[in-house]
């Protein structure tokens, strides 16, 4: 990851102070909470949660407060992520008071409220370890409920059935998780809707969000995902880039993409899951036959004329991507019927047949023997 030179440490001795034990952060498995942790780690130039200092947290607070007070972030946050949030001061009635200092103050108050991670009742549904926040005045003076103004896609005071327990206090979340969720926008992309990526192991969450955080650092804007307009195509592209550039094999990894809007009046969410066999296959394809793999993907778009780079940025569906993610065969895309030949290296085809389709040796031997006719006979 690249160095962090823009923010000076103006927190004096406080800056290097270790995290107080009770406030330590950890991965929770909740996509929005973990995305917030990714943002803080990435801004701090760190990879492990246990390496964070309290100074890192305060610097990250300072960084997002400056960002969120800007008009462009205000519009996205108010419009699509945290409508009317009292914490991030996006409620139109707070316009006059909105300032980095005010946002910092709100976030620091939430941070101060973080309890030890050994709660026994009234537990947070996101981390399962800390007691839920009871001081609701911390999320806005008039807030009676932890709703979708501070946690995207949950309910509101009028829509209690959107909460796990129908609780009148809303989403049962602790101060730590709520604090972290406020950082999630910095680790997300805006491809029309908002794209937040959650991966296991967490190092892949960091790699997949790196572009977004870099963009925020450099331009103070939310990343548009380099002009991509379809979350699925963007993810395939990112996974291929990371595989090729960093030699990552994505062994036993998985990725979930949450593509959503949290408008006040309307909420939408699409979840795309990338299982490890898909990630490992992309990584393998990039390592043995990147050109051949692009040839296969190219055949997944109906448009026969447009070039690859253009098409992958559009909203158009790609049949190869769709089939891979749905566990359907893409064998026929390895074969060019017009020119009667297989368009990738044998190694890639063999890997696909063995590792993704789980064909056994006998079938593979047969395939190799009659290599050119295979796809016609078995692939359809």
d(CA 174, CA 89): 20
Main-chain dihedrals φ then ψ at residue 336, nearest 5 degrees = -100, 105
Does the footprint of Zn ion cover residue 177 (CB under 5 A)? yes
Of 122 and 247, the one with the shorter C-beta distance to Zn ion is: 122
Kindly state the number of chain residues that form the binding site for Zn ion, as judged by CB under 5 A. Answer: 6
Does the footprint of Zn ion cover residue 77 (CB under 5 A)? no
From the list 110, 124, 278, 331, which residue makes contact with Zn ion (rule: CB under 5 A)? 124
Calculate the dihedral angle through the C-alpha atoms of 236, 242, 245, 249, rounding to the nearest 10 degrees.
-100
From the list 87, 126, 324, 342, which residue makes contact with Zn ion (rule: CB under 5 A)? 126
- The per-residue b/e assignment along 82-108, b for 16 or more CB within 10 angstroms, e otherwise, is bbbbbbbbbbeebeeebebeebbebbb
- The piece of 10-18, 167-175, 198-206, 346-354 that touches Zn ion (CB under 5 A) is 167-175
From the list 174, 186, 213, 239, which residue makes contact with Zn ion (rule: CB under 5 A)? 174
Q: Scan for tokens 């450099």, then name that residue.
A: 218
From the list 43, 127, 255, 296, which residue makes contact with Zn ion (rule: CB under 5 A)? 127
Does the footprint of Zn ion cover residue 150 (CB under 5 A)? no
Of 77 and 127, the one with the shorter C-beta distance to Zn ion is: 127
- The piece of 46-54, 124-132, 278-286, 358-366 that touches Zn ion (CB under 5 A) is 124-132
Does the footprint of Zn ion cover residue 172 (CB under 5 A)? no
Under 8 Å between Cβ of 197 and 255: yes
CB of 117 to Zn ion, least distance (A): 8
Of 35 and 89, the one with the shorter C-beta distance to Zn ion is: 35
Of 124 and 353, the one with the shorter C-beta distance to Zn ion is: 124
Query: How many of the other CB atoms lie within 10 Å of CB of 307?
Result: 9
CB of 242 to Zn ion, least distance (A): 29
Write out the two tokens for 148. 């979708």
Main-chain dihedrals φ then ψ at residue 191, nearest 5 degrees = -105, 70
The DSSP code sequence of 270-295 is EEEEE-HHHHHHHHHHHHH-HHHHHH
Interface positions with Zn ion (CB under 5 A): 124, 126-127, 130, 174, 177
């Amino acid at each position: 990851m690249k160095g962090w030179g823009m923010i000076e440490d103006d927190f004096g001795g406080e800056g290097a102070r270790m995290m107080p034990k009770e406030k330590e952060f950890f991965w929770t498995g909740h996509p929005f909470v973990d995305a917030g942790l990714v943002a803080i780690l990435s801004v701090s130039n760190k990879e492990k949660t246990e390496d964070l200092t309290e100074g890192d947290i305060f610097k990250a607070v300072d960084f997002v407060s400056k960002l969120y007070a800007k008009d462009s972030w205000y519009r996205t946050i108010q419009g699509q992520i945290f409508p009317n949030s009292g914490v991030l001061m996006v409620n139109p009635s707070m316009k006059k008071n909105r300032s980095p200092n005010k946002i910092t103050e709100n976030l620091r108050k939430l941070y101060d409220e973080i309890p030890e991670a050994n709660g026994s009742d009234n537990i947070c549904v996101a981390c399962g370890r800390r007691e839920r926040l009871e001081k609701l005045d911390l999320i806005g003076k008039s807030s009676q409920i932890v709703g979708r103004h501070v946690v995207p896609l949950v309910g509101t005071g009028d829509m209690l059935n959107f909460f796990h327990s129908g609780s009148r206090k809303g989403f049962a979340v602790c101060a730590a998780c709520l604090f972290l969720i406020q950082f999630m926008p910095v680790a997300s992309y805006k491809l029309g809707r908002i794209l937040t990526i959650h991966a296991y192991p967490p190092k892949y969450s960091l790699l997949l969000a790196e572009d977004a955080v870099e963009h925020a650092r450099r331009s103070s804007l939310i990343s548009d995902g380099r002009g991509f307009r379809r979350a699925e195509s963007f993810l395939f592209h990112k996974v291929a880039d990371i595989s090729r550039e960093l030699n990552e094999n994505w062994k036993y990894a998985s990725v979930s993409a949450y593509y959503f809007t949290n408008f006040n009046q309307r909420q939408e969410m699409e979840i795309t899951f990338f299982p490890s066999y898909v990630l490992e296959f992309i990584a393998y394809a990039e390592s043995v036959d990147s050109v051949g793999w692009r040839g296969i993907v190219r055949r997944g778009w109906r448009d026969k004329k447009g070039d690859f780079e253009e098409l992958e940025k559009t909203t158009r569906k790609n049949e190869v991507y769709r089939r891979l993610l749905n566990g359907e065969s893409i064998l026929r895309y390895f074969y060019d019927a017009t020119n009667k030949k297989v368009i990738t290296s044998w190694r890639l085809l063999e890997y696909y047949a063995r590792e993704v389709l789980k064909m056994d040796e006998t079938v593979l031997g047969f395939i190799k023997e009659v290599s050119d006719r295979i796809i016609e006979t078995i692939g359809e």
